[in-house]
Amino acid sequence: MTKSICLLSLTLAFASFTALAADAPDFTLHEWGTFTSVSGSDGVLLPGLQTEEEPLPTFIHSHEGMEPYAPKGWMRPLQNVTIKMETPVIYFYTSQPFEAHVRVGFNGGSISQWFPARSGGETPPPVPKIATFGSPGGEIDFAKGYNGSIEWNVQVQPPSDADGAAVFKPGATPTWLYPRQTDSALLRTKGGEAEKFLFYRGVGNFSLPVKFALLDDGTLHIQNDSKAAIPAMLIFNHPRYGDEVSFELLDPLKAGETRTVKITVPVTSTNWQHEVYAAMRGALVQAGLFPKEADAMLQTWWNSYFERPGLRMFWIVPENFTRAVLPLTVEPSPREQIRVLVGRSELLTPAFEQDLLKQFAQGEQNPLRNDRFVSAYEARVNALKIGK
């Protein structure tokens, strides 16, 4: 009798487990995004990256004083921003509708802008209600530490021919439209906002797992300080507007490995855009993105990544670092989860830094006064003056 009862209990338990498994939605989650930093020739990350670079549509949600359409992007004073977390987007892929709860933490920064409307998350210091427009208040010094977060409750719906009408929003910019070009599910909030992805952006201050330092002889010193390999790196050198470029896709950098690379002299090429696109696309797909996702990422960031002058390194962020900085929880859990974050490291050569000293000595006539990285450049100039 006891044996029969045990067998019956096991049978009922298995049947219950099978029923739960059958009810659980089958879906895949993918994510891509960028960590942007600027480092001096000594490899030290520079502050001042709170200025907006790629304008966002006005329908984006944000914390007070962090509106993307405010003058220069910010009204709230932000101090010691060394990392810009740009355009992470989260996709769901499924053939069945279900409800999901998503939470992303940001250890070292604030999730300052997002879409669609969130259901919870961080609350930054309040901005004082001062009559004077643009008066300081509610400042955040990220060097003192800050941990942000965001949560969404969304209805996940399999893709359909009606999605185009559902996600249409006046004022959408090209960089907003590119990420839609995938086969992802439609995500809708209870408030009615809908999109093909969850979007968030932020600013912060934390150490990166890899360090880049440049020497006077044109060599780049790369040091992987993490316990995981850097899966892929692409060094891109575009000293001025035009067709003079050089680029190289480097082999993976092992955990703890140090490598020295000679910066290749740029040469004139009329086909470099296609070659760079193919190299980066291959690295992103190899890291786990679907081809359409890789296309969406590159086309979203193409002008900022490759059309503007500069020396920069693109590197696939180790997955363990992504989990540590941006812990992600999804309920119910996906069958597969792929997160591909790209580190974009803007690198200052010793020669460029000497030019900065001359340009900043011109005061109001400084030709870089409206540059996207002018605050970071100013921080480096001040450090060089102190070092003299």
| Tens-place pLDDT, residues 320-356 | 999 999 999 999 999 999 999 999 999 999 999 999 9
Residue 386 included in any domain: no
Residue 93 belongs to what domain range? 27-348
Residue 135 predicted with pLDDT over 70? no
DSSP string, 80-136: ---EEEEEEEEEEEESS-EEEEEEEEEETEEEEEEES--SEE--PPPPP--SSTT--
Residue 387 included in any domain: no
User: pLDDT tens, 346-359?
Assistant: 999 999 999 999 99
Model pTM?
Answer: 0.90
Residue 17 included in any domain: no
Helices 350-360, 374-387: axis angle to 10 degrees equals 100
User: pLDDT tens, 83-107?
Assistant: 999 989 999 999 999 999 999 999 9
Residue 129 included in any domain: yes
**Rounded CA gap, 125 and 113, in Å?**
15
Q: How many domains does the chain have?
A: 1
Residue 341: name the closest of 359, 354, 323, 358 by CA: 323
Residue 216 included in any domain: yes
Residue 139 included in any domain: yes
Residue 76 included in any domain: yes
Which whole-number Å values give the CA distances from 100 to 115, 312, 323, in the listed order?
A: 16, 38, 20
Q: Is 385 helix (H, G, I), strand (E, B) or coil?
A: helix
Strands 78-79 and 140-141: parallel
Q: Which residue has the higher pLDDT, 308 or 92?
A: 92
Q: What average pLDDT does range 225-235 have in this prediction?
A: 95
Confidence label for 186 from pLDDT (cuts 50, 70 and 90): very high
Residue 12 predicted with pLDDT over 50? no
Supply the pLDDT for residue 318: 96
Residue 241 included in any domain: yes
